[in-house]
Amino acid sequence: MNHVRLVFNDTPETIAIPKALQHRRTEVIILSLDDEIIDKPAKRHLLDLIGQAKGCYKNAAEIDSLIRAERDKWDD
């Protein structure tokens, strides 16, 4: 299998494809080697996800209020 690995310190606007790989089925992967990645998602703590999913509750007070509301409906 022919392959080419190019690392650029200053990536040009266009990259030439070697003749041996032109007009063939190929895969091109472009990775940034910089430490800072553009649009890097903010780090989140696992505990931040508690109560975020559909049907989940953030705390016990929220569950208690839902249960009380349901009990009040039964009493009516």
pLDDT tens digits for 36-47?
656 667 787 877
Low-confidence ranges of the chain (pLDDT < 50): none
Would you say residue 13 lies in a domain? no
Query: pTM for this one?
Result: 0.38
Q: Is residue 58 part of a domain?
A: yes
> Is 14 inside any structural domain?
no
Residue at 5 is within a domain: no
Average pLDDT, the chain: 82
Contact 20, 2 (CB under 8 A): yes
Domain hosting 64: range is: 19-73
Q: Is the dihedral of CA 54, 60, 62, 63 positive or negative?
A: positive
Q: Is residue 10 part of a domain?
A: no
Total domain count, the chain: 1
